[in-house]
Amino acid sequence: MRFNNQSYLNLSRKWKPVGGLKSQADQPVKVMDHFQYAIFCLLALMRFGDKLDEDQIKKIEAIQRKILLRLGEVNVLNLFPVLSKIIFRKQWKELLQLRQDQENILIPLIKARIEAKGLGSESVAYVDSLVDLQLTDEKRKLNMGEIVSICAEFFNAGTDTTATELQWIMANLVKFPEIQEKVYQEIYQLVGGNQLGGILNEEDMQKLPYLKAVVLEALRRHPPGHFLLPHSVSEDTEFKGYVIPKNANVNVMVAELGWDPNVWGNPMEFKPERFLNSSNDHDHDEFDITGSREIKMMTFGAGRRICPGYALALLHLEYFVVNFVWCFKWKHVNGDTSSIDLSEKQKFIVVMKNPLQACIFPTVQST
């Protein structure tokens, strides 16, 4: 897609401040908490098939976060569980209490879903498939504890990764307003004035290659995980002259792979255009994020242990970005692009060292 400067100027957006009050709109919003909450609500809806109220969401979020923060401790205690249960009795008690709290919150939601399904609810939820799942080798279904753990994993693996990536994308769109404007113009050229202020849907997103390129570029330049989960080889393996012994821990430097100058020109530059018509394979128009044809980046891993939520994450990222840009103009604080600092900080995943703050204005379309 080409963006012609003339039409870009003609269509240039007008905007009005949030709530119609300039003073309010001038107040920068720290967006990350809102992103996290939105993604969490969406995942909860997918899981339980029903909208949960704010109180329930906050309770699940709080317990999940407490458990996530102590995950390292769980791994250490599990190295020698028999011994650690004696020596670290207090820690074990606290961790078991956290698990109990998690079950107390999630089990009633799972049971409510089973009941709703029994009463003929037509919606489809993730919990339904877990309840129906038959473990063929063991000739049994999942028990309640296992369903709780799998639901919890879905929250842990899907919330912070997607919300963090969303923050990286929006930070780049605020830092580089010309890229934000290109996303807007692409949407405008697709839907014109017909859908002003309306929400764009999944079908619209399939026709927006520049939007997809922005999301891919962010996943390349700012992968939330700089490593994969630990893997190991099941037998001694030789790779490029090195012997990797059986059971050795193996990982991949995900970020370095996406920043390799031999593969990507000016890799540290945020340049979505590199993903337009990026496929060399004429049978496939889209970039192969799964690495099944060629591995150029591995933000979601590759092969059989690839992130099972990658398609969902892409869908959510594209959905939020397209609607954020269509409905709002995102501006940096005090007109100063340097207020957007793209430095990284290693937490559980790699986050923005200085979280994004932006002034956000609902757009009013010029005709």
Q: Which of 204, 180, 209, 178 is nearest to 190 (CA)?
A: 204
Question: Which of residues 157 and 196 has its CB atom nearest to ligand HEM in the complex?
Answer: 157
Q: Where are the alpha helices (DSSP H) in the chain?
A: 5-10, 22-25, 32-48, 54-69, 71-77, 81-87, 89-118, 126-132, 144-175, 177-191, 202-205, 209-221, 254-258, 310-327
| Closest separation in Å from C-beta 209 to ligand HEM | 20
Q: Which of 247, 57, 228 is nearest to 157 (CA)?
A: 228
Residue nearest to ligand HEM (CB): 309
Question: Which of residues 317 and 340 has its CB atom nearest to ligand HEM in the complex?
Answer: 317
| Closest separation in Å from C-beta 75 to ligand HEM | 14
| Closest separation in Å from C-beta 354 to ligand HEM | 20
Query: Which residue numbers belong to the known binding site?
Result: 307
CB half-sphere exposure, 180, CA atoms < 13 A:
24
| Closest separation in Å from C-beta 106 to ligand HEM | 15
Question: Which of residues 16 and 226 has its CB atom nearest to ligand HEM in the complex?
Answer: 226
| Closest separation in Å from C-beta 13 to ligand HEM | 28
Contacts with ligand HEM by CB under 6 A lie at 43, 153-154, 157-158, 161-162, 165, 224-225, 228-229, 299-301, 305, 307-309, 312-313
Residue 45, Cα to own-chain centre: how many angstroms? 16
Question: Which of residues 8 and 37 has its CB atom nearest to ligand HEM in the complex?
Answer: 37
Question: Which of residues 116 and 151 has its CB atom nearest to ligand HEM in the complex?
Answer: 151
Strands 14-15 and 350-352, bridge-based pairing: unpaired
Query: Which residue numbers belong to the known binding site for heme?
Result: 307
Three-class secondary structure of residue 330 per DSSP: strand
Taking the CA atoms of residue 320, residue 323, residue 325 and residue 329 in that order, the dihedral angle to the nearest 10 degrees is: -110
